[in-house]
Amino acid sequence: MLRITQEAARCLLCGNAKCTAACPNGYDPSRAVRAVRFENENIAGRFVDADTCAGCQGDCEKACIHYDSPIRLREMISALPAQTKTDEEPDLSIDFCGVHCENPFFLSSSIVAGDYDMCARAFEAGWAGAVFKTIGFLIPEEVSPRFGTIGKEGTPFIGFKNLEQISDHETTYNLDVLRRLKKNYPDKVIVASIMGQNDEEWIKLSKLVTEAGADMIECNFSCPHMSGGGLGSDVGQDPVLVKRYTKLVKSVTHLPVLAKMTPNIGNMEIPATAATQGGADGIAAINTIKCILGIDTETLVSSPSVNGRCSVSGYSGKAVKPIALRFIHDLAKCGHLSGVPLSGMGGIETWHDALEFILLGCSNVQVTTAVMQYGYRIIDDLILGLKTYMAQHGITKVSELVGTALPQLVPADMLDRSTLVYPSFDIKKCIGCERCFISCSDAGHQAITMQDGKARLSAAKCVGCHLCMLVCPSGAISSKNKRIAKP
């Protein structure tokens, strides 16, 4: 049977998709596939009509420009879950540091929020706010190329490395953009990200962006690859400087101030607490993680090669989400930061990713890398998915969800160590590939044997680690057995 998520993963997600243009019935197959791709499989069916499509000649499929073979759209459409209509319309709006946001989704400070037209298009698409590209008096000279990616087995963009610094526009130009954005989009939230080099610059920048009409200020204490010392994450690793600069910024603005944290540190609670002592109203995390993507073993240069050299610089995207979530958890649980609003980011692509940040305590989330890869249009599925989840769970306001997963995260010494769950094997689904057998033999407790070409479990040896389930490609192994006392 066709696995719709795997087939959707092959889709090239073209702009102006030919499949949709070719549909004689005016449906939107490309939008349906995009919904599947962004974890909205259950509602993908609303963009097509399975009955009508079943009787169609498949013009969408014939128009597909996939370089390999067309996406099997007709089969996908027929396999989409039936649609259940709900009249409930959950409220996605949220109060963040006293500022009303129509939904929790902001562009994070970067190239994706780098100019007027870009932010305007993002707002039109549905983003509630934009943290504008960091403004400073230093105008950096950028390198070319400046990005690199790491992929695995057909997924080209698991992690993303960038060497980009702060805005390379003049401060006066950026201030004019902020002014125009606020004038033309009064209901959207304009956050000015700033970075100074000394006391005077932090004060001046804070005054200027306040006068320009920003709704909030985000202090960039966290860019890990600024050329020149005393900037970005050099500041963010020093709680004394964090407190000092936050205090200076707060002393000349009435706006809420966020302090954006660097993950290039062991305990983020320390600079975050220092920021709140300096008067920060909220904490944003995480900025990018210092990285080296890898080394080209022929040229001996790391990617991206800037004329034969590269530098340690910031890593973002899906790969960093677990690290970002861990920092958000640490901030949310820190007693000194109790009640301090959190804005979370790092690897958010789908509504599900965003919800995870919310469940760990964020009332606002930000995105860059996924927008770089897929464009502003991902907001459609962020909004749709979160709304659907809320309707299904009887949640009327996003604030009801904030932090609700925190009690279940406990120190390792508080975990139950007296019981286990044996993996459950569905022999009908076992295809005899031996992946579970190999992993259990070489990295487990030799609890799996192959009999008549099928995997069998020996409970006497099994410790319930579930590695077998994680490597099984056919879904034959699950954790649906009951938890029992350890033998």
Ligand X SMILES: Cc1cc2nc3c(=O)[nH]c(=O)nc-3n(C[C@H](O)[C@H](O)[C@H](O)COP(=O)(O)O)c2cc1C
Which residues carry out catalysis? 223
Q: Is 225 in the site for ligand X (CB under 6 A)?
A: no
Q: Is 108 in the site for ligand X (CB under 6 A)?
A: yes
Q: Which of 288, 293, 325 is nearest to 406 (CA)?
A: 325
How many other C-beta atoms can be found within 10 angstroms of the C-beta atom of residue 117? 9
- Binding residue for ligand X (CB under 6 A) from 76, 118, 143, 223? 223
**Choices 103-111, 137-145, 237-245, 273-281 (CB under 6 A): range interacting with ligand X:** 103-111
- Please state the closest distance from residue 345 (CB atom) to ligand X, in A: 4
CB 148 within 8 A of CB 87: no
Q: Which of 458, 444, 450, 447 is nearest to 430 (CA)?
A: 450
**Choices 44-52, 290-298, 340-348, 408-416 (CB under 6 A): range interacting with ligand X:** 340-348
Interface of this chain with ligand X, residues 378 to 437, rule: CB under 6 A:
none
Instruction: List, as own/partner pairs, every contact residues 27-32 make where C-beta atoms lie below 8 angstroms and the sequence separation is at least 24, other chains included.
Output: 27/52, 27/53, 29/53, 29/60, 29/73, 29/77, 31/380, 32/76, 32/77, 32/80
| Cα separations in angstroms, 60 against 23, 43, 78, 242, 314 | 6, 20, 14, 55, 40
Q: Total residues contacting ligand X (rule CB under 6 A)? A: 27
Question: Of 193 and 302, which has the nearer Cβ to ligand X?
Answer: 193
Q: Is 164 in the site for ligand X (CB under 6 A)?
A: yes
- Please state the closest distance from residue 372 (CB atom) to ligand X, in A: 6
Which tokens go with 103? 């939904």
Identity of the amino acid at 452? D
Q: Is 162 in the site for ligand X (CB under 6 A)?
A: yes
Identity of the amino acid at 1? M
Q: Is 41 in the site for ligand X (CB under 6 A)?
A: no
**Choices 161-169, 249-257, 392-400, 426-434 (CB under 6 A): range interacting with ligand X:** 161-169
Q: How many CA atoms lie within 13 A of 133 on its CB side?
A: 23
Q: Is residue 399 exposed (0-12), middle (13-18) or buried (19+ Cβ within 10 Å)?
A: middle
- Please state the closest distance from residue 316 (CB atom) to ligand X, in A: 3
- Please state the closest distance from residue 318 (CB atom) to ligand X, in A: 8
- Please state the closest distance from residue 132 (CB atom) to ligand X, in A: 9
Q: Is 129 in the site for ligand X (CB under 6 A)?
A: no
Alpha-carbon gap, residue 363 to 127, rounded angstroms: 15
Question: Of 111 and 391, which has the nearer Cβ to ligand X?
Answer: 111
Where b means 16+ CB within 10 Å and e means fewer, 227-261 reads eeeebbbbbbbbbebbbbbbbbbbeebebbbbbbb
- Binding residue for ligand X (CB under 6 A) from 30, 134, 149, 388? 134
- Binding residue for ligand X (CB under 6 A) from 19, 166, 283, 398? 166
Residue 87: partners with Cβ closer than 8 Å, 6 or more residues away = none
**Choices 12-20, 345-353, 377-385, 458-466 (CB under 6 A): range interacting with ligand X:** 345-353
Q: Is 343 in the site for ligand X (CB under 6 A)?
A: no
Q: Is 20 in the site for ligand X (CB under 6 A)?
A: no
Interface of this chain with ligand X, residues 355 to 374, rule: CB under 6 A:
367-370
- Please state the closest distance from residue 223 (CB atom) to ligand X, in A: 6
- Please state the closest distance from residue 108 (CB atom) to ligand X, in A: 3
- Binding residue for ligand X (CB under 6 A) from 12, 111, 391, 467? 111
Q: Which of 187, 193, 185, 143 is nearest to 166 (CA)?
A: 193
Alpha-carbon gap, residue 369 to 361, rounded angstroms: 22
Q: Is 171 in the site for ligand X (CB under 6 A)?
A: no
Residues that bind ligand X (CB under 6 A): 108-111, 133-134, 160, 162, 164, 166, 193, 220, 223, 260, 287-288, 316-317, 320, 345-348, 367-370
